[in-house]
């Protein structure tokens, strides 16, 4: 197969090519590694690569196929967000605190994708400890959007989004705490899925906010995401939040027609705050669904406007607890000079954490402190319950909820970094989904100002990933937005 054909084949096309011996895993992996070497200096999507290890994994995949083993993902290379522990590979979480940490074990998601036979291309850049919406907080420098290197790729899974959009990797893992898969997928023009909380194990995924974090796939198409989620999902007894459910084939319903589908349009998502170019692309996408037999109905999510303040109480509170383990004692950065143990704690954390992480630790510690817990943290948890109840009520009237993923297309570097509140509002449409623990995904639905991608968000009821993927896939069969590639990657 020609290189360009391979790069845009999707997981199904790559799987067929490998099965028919038109390409080997080693050849495919080497093609990706060559592109990483050529384009990563511009994009800064990868923070760690090890071609020797990657090619060894590819040779193993080829040997498995030669021995008669088959599998839809066997031999297709991918990359992991640097929040996932990977045995023998550096795992930094985008922070100076873990800049030289080499994990002694694999995250459960990594183990499952290894078992499926996917060689690892490397580790992907991200906002420090997954705290950010633009990938500007990474200790290793910002990731650049391949559609316009002067703009952000979204965050915190910005490295994953940029790598897949630029075809440095056929697919990648991401994590979503308040929109960190869906928002960068929207800003970089690809498909990204956050499953129902508990579907993918959090074991080996460095914790930010434990009641919100969830792993998910990022790839060009919904079909690709279905294949990846089928491999990633599964019960893990090491994670107390992992759900023990029967295994699912998330691609099983992809071809079902959409006639009779009820699409809920939250009035709160279509009010002021959405840019006109985003609105136009989303409305055009809804017209396509109507052409395929779906109907739209207005629904209400009256407490969704409180999702950002509730999130920025709950998430920092959990982060302040989770990040207390990084104290310079056991692993991670330790200050070179200190007077005593307390001085070592203070200097190690001051040097190891960046400004955004420090800000959230301080907020979290404050809202959990004596006299403020009831006023802030407890109230935020009550709002969280109301937000979840709003979604439950909305799903009585519809099968899937749709709206914009982000209120704007990708913005230039520095446009919001001086104003944390404006940055936080970038996730205004995505955060409520995490607070409720629901599945959500973003798919490309057009282009806006500056020729930048626009994302359409789909939200499903609990455990309705297969339905969401069906809806997204049928849209992508009728459109080609997900096949568009930035000029830089052509």
Q: Which residues are catalytic?
A: 81, 156, 180
HSE-up of residue 236 (Cα within 13 Å, Cβ side): 22
Cβ partners under 8 Å of residue 188, min gap 6: 145, 146, 147, 153, 154, 158, 161, 162, 164, 165, 410, 453
Core vs surface per residue 104-133: b (16+ CB within 10 A) or e: eebbbbbbbbbebbbbbbbbbbbbbbbbbb
Residue matched to tokens 């990204």: 192
State how far Cα 185 lies from the chain centre: 7
CB 179 within 8 A of CB 444: no
> Residue 177 is encoded by which pair of tokens?
């705490």
CA angle 170, 173, 178 (to 5 degrees): 130
Nearest residue to 187 via CA among 217, 155, 219: 155
HSE-up of residue 387 (Cα within 13 Å, Cβ side): 25
CB 204 within 8 A of CB 85: yes
CB 351 within 8 A of CB 335: yes
Q: What are phi and psi of 161, to 5 degrees?
A: -65, -45
Distance (Å, whole) CA 93 – CA 157: 11
Q: State in Å, rounded, how far the first CA of the chain is from the last one.
A: 16
In terms of DSSP bridges, do strands 78-81 and 120-124 run parallel, antiparallel, or are they unpaired? Answer: parallel
Core vs surface per residue 196-225: b (16+ CB within 10 A) or e: bbbbbbbbbbbbbbbbbbbbbbbbbbbbbb
Residue matched to tokens 């400890």: 129
In terms of DSSP bridges, do strands 120-124 and 440-447 run parallel, antiparallel, or are they unpaired? Answer: unpaired
Distance (Å, whole) CA 140 – CA 128: 9
Distance (Å, whole) CA 438 – CA 199: 11
Query: Considering Cα of 220, then 226, then 227, then 231, what sign does the dihedral take?
Result: positive
Nearest residue to 155 via CA among 181, 124, 173: 181
DSSP element (H, E) containing 173 = strand 172-175
């Amino acid at each position: 197969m020609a290189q360009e054909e391979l790069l845009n084949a999707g997981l199904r096309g790559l799987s067929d090519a490998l099965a028919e011996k038109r390409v080997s895993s080693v050849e495919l992996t080497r093609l990706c590694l060559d592109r990483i070497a050529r384009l990563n200096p511009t994009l800064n999507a990868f923070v760690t690569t090890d071609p020797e290890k990657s090619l060894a994994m590819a040779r193993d995949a080829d040997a498995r196929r030669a021995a008669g083993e088959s599998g839809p993902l066997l031999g297709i290379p991918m990359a992991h967000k640097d929040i996932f522990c990977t045995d023998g590979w550096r795992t930094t979480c985008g922070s100076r605190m873990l800049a030289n940490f080499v994990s002694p074990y694999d995250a459960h998601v990594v183990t499952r994708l290894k078992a499926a036979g996917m060689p690892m291309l490397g580790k992907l850049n991200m906002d420090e400890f997954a705290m950010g919406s633009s990938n500007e907080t990474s200790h290793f420098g910002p990731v650049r959007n391949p559609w316009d290197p002067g703009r952000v790729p979204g965050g915190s899974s910005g490295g994953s989004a940029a790598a897949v959009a630029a075809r440095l990797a056929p697919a990648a893992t991401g994590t979503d705490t308040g929109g960190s898969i869906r928002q960068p997928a929207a800003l970089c023009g690809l498909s990204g899925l956050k499953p129902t909380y508990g579907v993918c194990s959090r074991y080996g995924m460095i914790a930010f906010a434990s009641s919100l974090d969830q792993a998910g796939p990022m790839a060009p198409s919904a079909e690709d995401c279905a294949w990846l989620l089928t491999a990633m999902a599964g019960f893990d007894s090491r994670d107390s939040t992992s759900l023990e459910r029967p295994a699912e084939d998330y691609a099983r319903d992809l071809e079902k027609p959409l006639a009779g589908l009820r699409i809920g349009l939250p009035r709160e998502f279509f009010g002021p705050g959405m840019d006109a170019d985003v609105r136009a692309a989303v409305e055009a996408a809804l017209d396509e669904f109507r052409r395929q037999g779906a109907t739209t109905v207005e629904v209400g999510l009256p407490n969704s406007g409180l999702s950002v303040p509730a999130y920025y109480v709950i998430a920092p509170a959990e982060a302040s607890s989770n990040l207390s383990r990084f104290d310079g004692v056991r692993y991670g950065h330790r200050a070179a000079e200190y007077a005593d143990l307390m001085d070592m704690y203070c200097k190690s954390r001051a040097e190891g954490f960046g400004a955004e992480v420090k800000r959230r630790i301080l907020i979290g510690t404050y809202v959990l402190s004596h006299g403020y817990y009831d006023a802030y943290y407890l109230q935020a948890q009550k709002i969280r319950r109301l937000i979840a109840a709003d979604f439950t009520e909305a799903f009585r009237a519809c099968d899937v909820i749709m709206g914009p993923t982000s209120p704007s297309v990708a913005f230039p570097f520095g446009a919001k970094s001086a104003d944390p509140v404006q940055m936080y509002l970038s996730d205004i449409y995505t955060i409520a989904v995490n607070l409720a623990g629901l599945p959500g995904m973003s798919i490309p639905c057009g282009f806006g100002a500056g020729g930048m991608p626009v994302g359409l968000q789909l939200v499903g009821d609990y455990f309705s990933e297969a339905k969401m993927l069906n809806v997204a896939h049928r849209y992508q069969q009728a459109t080609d937005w997900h096949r568009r590639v930035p000029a830089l990657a052509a």
